[in-house]
Amino acid sequence: MSDSYFPVGPGLGMEENFLSLDDILMSQEKLPGRAESSLPRLAVLLGQGAGSAESVPEGSKLEIPLWLAKGLHDSKRRIISVELPKIYKEAWRTVFSADANVVDLHKMGPYYYGFGSQLLNFENPENPEIAQTDSVCFLQTFIARFRRIMDSSQNAYNEDTSALVARLDELERALFQVGQKGLNDFQCWEKGQASQITASTLVQNYGKRKLAEVDG
């Protein structure tokens, strides 16, 4: 069934893929920010007051989803300013460069790479080197964790993999699944299971439902 289903993958760049469910979930993540000008009649939505007429005062701290922050952010008209989340700051970057394998990216993320790449949109034009260090940091993190993902995905045959994937970011999980599929397909072929014809999962589920209806 999964052969005939082509989901839109995540964009993983400066721009998300419009129809990618992963990217839509990713852009829901909250981002710390600060209002640079007062925002009339929005206090209720942003959790700053009760009355619908109240405005968000200038300089107040906000937690806004990435998609909204992206829409409001503009280097010329200062509506909001965006701060880096904790895990993308210098202190965490040092941890990543020390040993990327010990970090639980699922707890930090779960869209560590995708979200981080989107954050490059907000960097001030004056300091491009921050974007550079960020990007280099993602790349280094990915490279450092690559070996572990590859080894564990291709050595673990017929094992419980939940412990292995628990600390992986969503992107790495997809990669892990691909590696597992390669290994499993090969092992199936070697044991001669690939030549056996089995009913597709779709048909199996369909049959079950029908039986249940007859019973009921």
Partner 1 sequence: GDLGPFNPGLPVEVPVWLAINLKQRQKCRLIPPEWMDVGKLEEIRDQERKEDTFTPMPSPYYMELTKLLLNYASDNIPRADEIRTLVKDTWDTRMAKLRLSADSFVRQQEAHAKLDNLTLMEINTTGAFLTQALDHMYKLRTNLQPGESSHSQDF
Residue 51 one-letter amino acid: G
Nearer to partner 1 by Cβ, of 63 and 151: the residue is: 151
Determine how many CB atoms are found less than 10 A away from the CB of residue 87: 18
Determine how many CB atoms are found less than 10 A away from the CB of residue 105: 22
Residue 121 DSSP code: G
The encoded tokens of residue 112 equal 């560590």
CB proximity list for 29: less than 8 A, separation 6 or greater: 65, 66, 111, 115
Nearer to partner 1 by Cβ, of 43 and 116: the residue is: 116
**Minimum gap (Å) between residue 75 Cβ and partner 1:** 10
Nearer to partner 1 by Cβ, of 19 and 203: the residue is: 19
142 burial via Cβ count (<10 Å: 0-12, 13-18, 19+): middle
Nearer to partner 1 by Cβ, of 62 and 172: the residue is: 172
**Minimum gap (Å) between residue 32 Cβ and partner 1:** 21
**Minimum gap (Å) between residue 57 Cβ and partner 1:** 23
Residues engaged in binding partner 1 (CB under 8 A): 12-15, 74, 77, 113, 117, 120-121, 128, 131-132, 135-136, 138-139, 142-143, 146-147, 149-151, 153-154, 171, 174-175, 178-179, 181-183, 185-186, 189-190, 192
Which alpha helices (H) appear in the chain, and where do they start and end?
21-26, 66-72, 90-98, 105-108, 112-119, 128-155, 162-165, 170-191, 201-215
Nearer to partner 1 by Cβ, of 20 and 117: the residue is: 117
**Minimum gap (Å) between residue 203 Cβ and partner 1:** 26
**Minimum gap (Å) between residue 76 Cβ and partner 1:** 8
